[in-house]
Amino acid sequence: MTSVAFYFSNFASGGVQRQSMSLGKALLQYGHDVTFVVHKAVGPHLEHVPAGARIHELGSKSTGRSILPMAQYIRQHKPAVLVANMPHSNIVAVAAKILSGFQLKVMAVEHNHFSRQLTDHKKKLSFRILPYIYPLALKLADAVVAVSAGVADDLAKAIKIDRARITVIHNPAVPDDIQALASEPLPVDVTGGRPYVLAIGRLVPQKDFSTLLRAISLTKDVNLLILGDGPLRQQLQSEAMSLGIADRVKLAGFVANPYPLIANAELLALSSIYEGFGNVIAEALALGTPVVSTDCESGPAEILAGGRYGSLVPVADDQALAKAILATLEAEVPQDLQRRGQDFTIDRIAPLYMAILERMAARR
């Protein structure tokens, strides 16, 4: 039995939390000891912590203030492996290991394009210093995992780390109970009873919902439902009005269980400028829902196998996106979507992480 600790800030409704708990549940079933180490044990995913897992609160107010509490946790509980996600948390994990003096193994997982993150957050000091300290942290990590080949390639180039050191493991994006969740009733008054194209994501520039709105304006009688919250909500509502499609667009905000809406959508549209992976695409495939996505860096093309399992269009091209949406709506739904979706279940992904854990344990 191996003692594995997963580190993230809290139990908010984020992809890192969901994937970590899914993997933690699988490791428990393999007979391993699992602990979720968080700053504070708060957030909607707290109620989904798998039975048998422990929770340890660091009590820190931010990631940057977590190194000392994490080192204390390591010295006291002595986990064999610490799994961290994203640059700042990965740095904390490596620094805490050194400070603790305990020879545990650190697995650093990268979920997004490092170079894009630097560009998007260039005004933040915490990101401006990353190019100077993140390369060292990853070189000191015992294993480095990227959620897509594109993320791995970008990371290797951006911080000059040997690409061969990075293992690509796709996200276990598809919950094992997705069919049961999808069979639950649709959220009241979300769709208005009309067929709809669905988009899901934070209302932020990265998702480029503006291009999707323009694409919808180039179609007739196509309704768009967007799930997610974010700072661009009012701007997107104004754009829908300016385009004359406000009556065909609904911004429904965050929905705790989106799977009934994914299963009942005519198709899923993703208009992002970049994605580390694209969990929602895998979820749509698992439910047999067709997908139209931008061919952005880099997860969508990997999930859709270069266009075999869905349409790929250029980034920020509203006309190409509109054309692909209309063509997909008119075409028959491919029969192999759900089979492809099974490639992103925890049953397929957990053994890949297990192999890394076993290799790290063998090096102790």
Q: What is the pLDDT along the chain (364 residues), one digit of tens a residue?
A: 789 999 999 998 778 998 999 999 999 999 999 999 999 999 988 988 999 999 999 999 999 899 999 999 999 999 999 999 999 999 999 999 999 999 999 999 999 999 988 888 888 888 888 989 999 999 999 999 999 999 999 999 999 999 999 999 999 999 999 999 999 999 877 877 789 999 999 999 999 999 999 999 999 889 999 999 999 999 999 999 999 999 999 999 989 899 999 999 999 999 999 999 999 999 999 999 999 999 999 899 999 999 999 999 999 999 999 999 999 999 999 989 999 999 999 999 999 999 998 888 777 6
Q: What is the DSSP string of 183-218?
A: TSPPPTTSSTT---EEEES-SSGGG-HHHHHHHHHT
What residue type is assigned to position 217 of the chain?
A: S
Burial (CB < 10 A; 0-12, 13-18, 19+), residue 341, is buried
Q: Which fold has domain 178-344?
A: Rossmann fold (3.40.50)
Every domain range in the chain assigned CATH 3.40.50.2000 = 3-172+345-362, 178-344
- Look up the CATH architecture of domain 3-172+345-362: 3-Layer(aba) Sandwich (3.40)
Q: Using an 8 Å Cβ cutoff, are 152 and 169 in contact?
A: no
Q: Are strands 291-294 and 267-270 parallel, antiparallel or unpaired?
A: parallel
Q: Which string of b and e fits 344-353 if b means at least 16 CB within 10 Å?
A: bbbeebbeeb
pTM score of the predicted model = 0.93
Are the C-beta atoms of 350 and 23 separated by less than 8 Å? Answer: yes
